[in-house]
């Protein structure tokens, strides 16, 4: 996995799956963890609890955090404006959340669902609040998860890849298609462009010119109609900010 990030400098926005553990060994990478994953650990506990409780308090904190995110989106803030808004409103909420977690953690029953939820959040705290560092970063990686659902749904239909090479090819194919869509390109036209031009590529620069975020500015490229994609941003947060490809695992 680390081979993907050779010479890369920037952020990675992922969940806390052990698969990504190796990223912590790369000095040029700043890891950012998904807050939605942390929030989900408290959600079922809160639903089963009464009116009060640690999980319900945590869900209240998360509602306030996501209200700030909605405010930024609804007001169409720039990345810098969203950065400043988060410092003003989200950071104080997170400070209170951390103090609360530190207070209640010692009283949680070991190995209970609540104990595991609190421990998870505290263990990954530095990475969970790292979205404050840059207005380009999202608070969670939900957009990426929404993108890979197309692979997951298709996988249920064809069930198995016949060979390892076939599975690898499938991942590359889906990654190219979804990254083209996220960058506003018609995936069919983009693939035609690739097939026509790749045989004439002789340098690294030639190949880089064909990446979706580079080729989309060429006048002849066909873009998707507004609303043709679920996203109106130029890139997703799987490997790099701001120009990113969607790696399908």
Q: 167 and 214 share a domain? A: yes
Q: 85 and 157 share a domain? A: no
Question: What is the distance between the alpha carbons of residues 180 and 189, in angstroms, rounded to a whole number?
Answer: 10
Which pLDDT tens digits describe the chain residue by residue (249 residues)?
Answer: 677 777 788 888 888 877 777 787 778 889 999 999 999 999 999 988 777 899 999 999 999 999 999 999 999 999 999 999 999 999 999 999 999 999 999 999 999 999 999 999 999 999 999 999 999 999 998 887 777 776 667 666 666 667 888 778 877 888 888 889 888 898 889 999 999 999 999 999 999 999 999 987 775 666 664 444 433 333 333 333 333 344 433
Tally of structural domains, the chain: 2
Instruction: Check: CB of residue 56 under 8 Å from CB of residue 37.
Output: no
Which tokens go with 238?
A: 């799987």
Q: 180 and 203 share a domain? A: yes
Domain boundary among 83, 103, 133: 133
Q: 22 and 51 share a domain? A: yes
Q: 105 and 186 share a domain? A: no
Range(s) of the domain holding residue 218: 141-249
Sign of CA dihedral 191, 193, 199, 201: negative
Long-range contacts of 40-43 (CB under 8 A, 24+ apart): 41/113, 41/116, 41/117, 41/120, 41/121, 42/117
pLDDT score, position 237:
31
Q: 205 and 94 share a domain? A: no
């Amino acid at each position: 996995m680390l081979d993907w990030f050779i010479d890369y400098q920037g952020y990675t926005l992922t969940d806390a799956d052990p698969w990504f553990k190796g990223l912590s060994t790369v000095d040029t990478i700043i890891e950012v963890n998904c807050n939605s994953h942390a929030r989900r650990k408290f959600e079922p506990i809160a639903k089963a609890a009464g009116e009060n409780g640690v999980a319900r308090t945590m869900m209240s904190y998360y509602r306030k955090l996501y209200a700030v995110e909605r405010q930024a989106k609804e007001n169409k803030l720039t990345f810098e404006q969203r950065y400043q808004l988060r410092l003003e409103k989200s950071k104080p909420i997170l400070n209170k959340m951390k103090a609360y977690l530190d207070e209640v953690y010692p009283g949680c029953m070991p190995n209970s669902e609540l104990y595991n939820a609190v421990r998870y959040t505290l263990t990954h705290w530095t990475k969970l609040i790292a979205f404050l560092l840059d207005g380009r970063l999202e608070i969670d990686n939900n957009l990426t998860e929404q993108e890979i659902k197309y692979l997951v749904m298709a996988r249920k239909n064809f069930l198995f890849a016949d060979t390892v090479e076939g599975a690898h090819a499938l991942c590359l194919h889906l990654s190219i298609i979804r990254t083209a869509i996220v960058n506003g390109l018609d995936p069919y036209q983009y693939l035609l462009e690739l097939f026509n031009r790749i045989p004439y590529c002789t340098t690294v620069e030639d190949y880089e010119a064909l990446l979706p975020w580079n080729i989309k500015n060429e006048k002849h490229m066909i873009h998707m109609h507004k609303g043709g994609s679920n996203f109106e941003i130029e890139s997703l947060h799987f490997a790099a900010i701001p120009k990113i490809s969607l790696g399908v695992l």
